Copies of this chain bind each other. A is one copy, B any other.
Amino acid sequence: MSFELSLNTGTTPNLSLDEAIRYTAEAGLSHIGLWRHLLVDGAEAAAKAVSAAGLSVSSLCRGGFLTSSDAEGQAAALEENRAAIREAAALGTGELIMVVGGLPAAAHVLGGTGDRADKDVAAARARVADRLAELVPYAAEHGVRLVLEALHPMYAADRAVLSTLDQALDLAAPHSASAVGVVVDTFHVWWDPRLAQAITRAGLEGRLASYQVCDFNLPIASDALKSRGMMGDGYVDFSAISLAVAQAGYTGPVEVEIFNEEINNQDPALTLATMKERYEQLVLPSLQTASALV
């Protein structure tokens, strides 16, 4: 089997872990992508519940937030990421999605602390590289890959100073492909003029660890994080990106991760039915065509 559709639980934020598992299984899916806050009874219990429903975990969201400029913040980030690595291992997924964090000056936007004057994006990126190097051995011991996520540049200040797939690959370069990978999330990278080349590069370097699909909607939502849309509702050309991803050799599960006020609050069964239909219409055919040619 290839290209199994997976529900990322960010798409159904009102569901508990058990509910998300039940809806996913009832929709006939084989995979689920979990957010850490759902693991209220621990990762082992979650692993059992997922497995009992006949599902597999496609990825764990998320580690990261590695840009703190003070020793205390850096130690806390390492501790938090080690916990996430252990949880990923317990869940039987090799893929821990990493959102690297923003500028110290903008940490307050997400409720954190940081030097409001520190807007040095190059220095923040250097700290991400340093923290990553500190986490890699621990992740490798646990059989977990740190999967770097390039976020849309509209989140560069507050969420991720990592904005392009090429930049993610450069950041991964010092480490083995089994320890550090990258994810292609259509919302974040569709606009990148170097995207096709970067996806090819990711495949050649063996780092293509996850493919997440959702659309880019306009207007940008009042909470900019929620501008993601159901495939087909926005401006992403899923055909072109999916072709590139499969031609680069990716055959793994495909997660749908949509932060969108309306979709997040509608009947989850409707969401799952719609995402299946749109996936089969807009994404899967290109993946299969390209895969047949590889």
CB distance from A125 to the nearest CB of B (A): 7
State whether the Cβ of A154 lies closer than 8 Å to any Cβ in chain B: yes
> Which B-chain residue is minimally distant from A125 (CB atoms)?
B193
Please give me the residue from chain B that is nearest to A193 by CB atom: B167
**Copies of this protein chain in the complex:** 2
The answer to whether A164 touches B152, judged by C-beta atoms less than 8 angstroms apart, is no
What's the tally of chain A residues with a CB closer than 8 Å to chain B?
A: 38
A109 CB within 8 Å of chain B: yes
- Name the one of B191, B223, B224, B237 contacting A163, with C-beta atoms under 8 angstroms: B191
Which chain A residues numbered 122 to 142 have a C-beta less than 8 Å away from chain B?
122, 125
Interface of A is mostly: loop
In the assembled complex, which residues on chain B have CB atoms less than 8 Å from the CB atom of A161? Answer: 191
Cβ proximity bits A161-191 to B, threshold 8 Å, 1 near / 0 not: 1011011001000000000000000000011
Measured between beta carbons, the chain B residues less than 8 angstroms from A119 are: 235-237
Check if A218 sits within 8 Å of B157, measured CB to CB: yes
Interface string of A219-257 (1 = CB under 8 A from B): 110111000000000111100100000000000000000
Within 8 Å of chain B (Cβ to Cβ): is A205? Answer: no
CA distance in complex: A193, B163 (Å)? 8
The one of B103, B105, B191, B220 in contact with A224, judged by C-beta atoms closer than 8 angstroms, is B220
CB-CB under 8 A from A167, the residues of chain B are 193
Which residues on A are within 8 Å of B, measured CB to CB? Answer: 103, 105-106, 109, 119-122, 125, 152-154, 156-158, 161, 163-164, 166-167, 170, 190-193, 196, 216, 218-220, 222-224, 234-237, 240
Given contacts A122-B240, A152-B154, A163-B193, could you give 6 more A-B pairs where the C-beta distance is less than 8 Å? A109-B219, A121-B237, A157-B191, A157-B216, A167-B193, A224-B224
* 16 chain-A/chain-B pairs, Cβ below 8 angstroms: A106-B235, A109-B218, A119-B236, A119-B237, A120-B237, A152-B153, A152-B154, A156-B190, A157-B191, A157-B216, A157-B235, A161-B191, A163-B191, A163-B192, A167-B193, A220-B220
